[in-house]
Structure 1
């Protein structure tokens, strides 16, 4: 059957790109590390090893399961033909459609081949124009990404959340601790726009608000980001929750300002000031690494005679009134149920972004 042959060719291509032999070798090495009784003397490294092992085992399992399903499907069609059984044929057709969709989703993983795509991700969200509505929208976006991560079983860690006085949040930074989280989420970088009837406007007027989303890869030991201590201003303060209430009785939260770049990062999730400072430095290193990478890319574009790419532009609109629609302004992918999207069902948007980015970057490489 032609469709099964096409799916088989697609799966063979995916297997080649993912290089299953290397994947199996990496799994074996990580299993050896996980079996080392001294591994947990470094908690952070141990968690990184176990996360990578779990992710690789899951990916390999998906590919092997798809190969098994494809072989079973071929047998199912043969049985339906030999027995002239319409019910078996209908079952095979349904599985064919499902299998094709699962293969498309897996194929997206092979498109993530950028330098940092395999990294974990740091997500920062900042309320922009729109007052209290922007703060409320920013909190909705935070929940959207956390729900998406939870649905996929990806661990997350919130480093800092600055709550607004009336409702919502001014800003937040959190990590998605899963391999390829950066490659999956990096297309979310930019300005998100919400249009709705404001629940905070006593005249019930329509309000447009904006929130900025920043996605950077988590730094690793191999990265070199030189930070001069003299370039830092470090402030300590008391962690606060919604409505300004104190959540700690000590000044354990840490805010670091990198004076040359103006980048400000905060961390308040730990009770120890020392731990918060270490986490905040990791966030600062990640943001400086991304800035350095972007500056290098901009310089290359100038040498090519191209305009610099703008990552800060509006990327997606969430319209709740006068109609209901979420639309990506680059890929043109859209959904008619904003509530579902804001509940974390964003995989189709992410898939469309990954394909769009791959196409755009391939175009740049041809210049």
Structure 2
């Protein structure tokens, strides 16, 4: 790296760090960590295991943010010192080491920057993801199951806790639908950019003539509802049906009516749960997901009204948002951001961080442009 390039890279790293530090607020992080540490050490914390897990998970997340921020500050100081030392002693090896470190630092800061872009109202929350097979018959059902595996593998890579809430198996292969929860800080903020229609193009393994098949699956991502959200659902607005849980091929899992289907009559939203052990647990889980969907619907309607008032008639993103092509070439491409890779197997194995980060940056840019349009309109 030439001297001027190194100086620019170092200045870029310093500027990016200052922007991140301003957004994350180290002093504010320390204060929130101190409050959570008191809460985590309180007697009887684990009497409510769900709340205890939230507290400890949030504490761990904030401690990690602060650690990375402090590490970046220290590395910036060190690389500046290293560069000065190499220049004073005209030591090419030391200068080369400084160059490598500033490149690595800029890469790490880019990852940290993503955290500052997760500033939506519900971005901090856990996520509830539903995958549904679409057009494409048995190939679409198989494709839906491939997507389920992809997101599970992504969660495993990050050490995120997941929980399958409901699975509806297709008759021949794959799944009709599946709902699962990802319990981690900012899981919703990250996974929400995955919402939309995913298209797969491949030689069908279910076609004895070996023809190419295009299949579709829809991914829905909603934030996990919390008690403070106040979504009231009158009993008269829902219909609750119970039935026996089932597994692949329709084989009976049990002979009790533990599975629950809740239909919200005003919106016709249907939620099914069968993976809990009892009908009471399945009903509670289904009501939580229904409340989350109604919460999202309420905010979408509010946003739609604002757009109508502003005269904004642009279609929302998220219909067909990504293509996965296995034939006649290997390529996964996001149709919103333009990011693509030929490592299709890596993507199916859960290596989708680059797509998620590109989506977060794209969404942030969209929000900023919309804000500028509202300000220009005098809102």
TM range (shorter): over 0.9
Q: How many angstroms does 1:344 deviate by? A: 0.9
TM-fit CA distance, 1:308: 5.6
What residue is the counterpart of 2:31 in the other structure?
25
Correspondence for 1:84 among 85, 90, 107: 90
Aligned 8 A contact 1:190 1:212 in 2:
yes
Q: Select which of 258, 263, 267 maps to 2:273.
A: 267
Q: What is aligned with 1:111? A: 117
Does the CA contact (< 8 Å) of 1:156 and 1:177 recur in 2?
A: yes
Distance 2:248 2:75 in 1: 49
Change (3 A) 1:308 1:240: farther
User: Is residue 236–residue 252 contact of structure 1 (8 Å, CA) maintained in 2?
Assistant: yes
1:3 Cα deviation after fit: 2.3
From 212, 219, 239, the equivalent of 2:218 is 212
- Secondary structure at 2:229 match in 1: coil
| Change in 2 beyond 3 A, CA 1:57/1:152 | same
Matched residue SS, 1:222: helix
Structure 2 counterpart of 1:49, from 43, 48, 55? 55
Please name the residue that 1:62 is paired with. Answer: 68
Contact 2:239/2:264 (CA < 8 Å) preserved in 1?
Answer: yes
Note the C-alpha offset of 1:148: 1.1
Matched, 1:318 2:341: no
1:147 paired residue number: 153
Structure 2 unmatched runs, 5+: 1-6, 374-379
Whether the 8 Å CA contact 2:13–2:102 is kept in 1: the answer is no
Q: Among residues 235, 253, 265, which one is paired with 1:229 in the alignment? A: 235
Count of aligned pairs: 367
SS at match of 2:226: coil
Measured in 2, the distance between the counterparts of 1:236 and 1:48 equals 31
Cα deviation for residue 123 of structure 1 reads 0.8
3-state secondary structure, aligned to 2:118: coil
Q: 2:45 aligns with which of 14, 34, 39?
A: 39
Deviations 1:40-72 (A, max 9, x none): 121211111111111111111111122222222
Contact 1:248/1:271 (<8 A) preserved: no
Partner of 1:158: 164
The normalised TM-score by structure 2 is 0.93
| Matching of residue 15 in structure 1 with residue 21 in structure 2 | yes
- 1:272-315 deviation line (CA, Å, top 9, x unaligned): 21111111110000001001111111111111112263355100
Q: Is the 8 Å Cα contact of residues 298 and 308 (structure 1) preserved in structure 2?
A: no
Using the TM superposition, name which of 271-280 and 197-206 deviates more. 271-280
Q: Report runs of 4+ in structure 1 exceeding 4 Å deviation.
A: none
* Unaligned 5+ runs, structure 1: none
Measure, in 1, the Cα distance between the counterparts of 2:290 and 2:263: 9
**In the alignment, is residue 201 of structure 1 matched against residue 187 of structure 2?**
no
Could you list the per-position Cα deviations for residues 63-95 of structure 1 after superposition, in whole angstroms to 9, with x for gaps in the alignment?
A: 112222222222322333233333333222222
TM-score scaled by length of structure 1: 0.96
Could you tell me which residue of structure 1 aligns to residue 261 of structure 2?
Answer: 255
How big is the shift at 1:163?
1.2
Partners of 1:245 and 1:28 in 2: CA distance: 52
Tell me, yes or no, if structure 1 residue 302 matches structure 2 residue 308.
Answer: yes
Contact 1:144 1:343 (C-alpha < 8 Å) held by counterparts: yes
Once residues 312 and 16 of structure 1 are traced to their aligned partners in structure 2, the CA distance between those partners, rounded to angstroms, is: 31
Which of 343, 367, 372 is 1:361 aligned to?
367
Out of 341, 346, 369, the residue aligned to residue 335 of structure 1 is 341
Secondary structure of the residue aligned to 1:317 is strand
Q: CA deviation at 1:214?
A: 0.6
The correspondence for 2:298, drawn from 292, 311, 315, is 292
Partner Cα separation in structure 1 for residue 9 and residue 343 of structure 2? 32
Worse overlay, 72-81 or 355-364:
72-81
Residue 138 of structure 1 contacts residue 168 of structure 1 at CA under 8 Å; is this kept in 2? yes
Q: Secondary structure at the match of 1:57?
A: helix
